Amino acid sequence: MNYFLFIFLLFILSCNSNKNTRDSNKDILDKNKLTLILKDIQIAEARTKLSKIHRDSLIYLNAIQYQAIFKKHKIQADNFIKSYGYYLQDPKELNEIYESILDKLIKEEADQITNNQ
């Protein structure tokens, strides 16, 4: 995960003293939706890192990419942050999300290799 995103999320979460629960907050994204969004974020961050852009520009470019990803998935940034914070409270569930992301990325890579042959 991008260091900037991690620090940003920790800052936002530390400012929120209320513990999010799905029952009390209908804005929490379901696991499947969050998985798709995080997968897109991982891909965008990997592309940015490979571009060897200066660190200041990297942060700006990532912010633009996050907004495009949120727009693609029709969510707001605060909705993503609340949802990510909710799943951070349950490491087992968050681990399942990241395992699912990894599985999807491996499958997509295998499909690309197969299609290019």
Question: How far, in Å, are 12, 15, 31, 100, 110 from residue 63 at the CA level?
Answer: 15, 20, 23, 24, 29
Q: Are 106 and 95 in contact (CB under 8 A)?
A: no
Average pLDDT over the chain, rounded to an integer = 82
Task: State the average pLDDT over residues 9-23.
Answer: 51
Per-residue pLDDT band for 62 (boundaries 50, 70, 90) equals confident
Per-residue pLDDT for 15 more than 50? yes
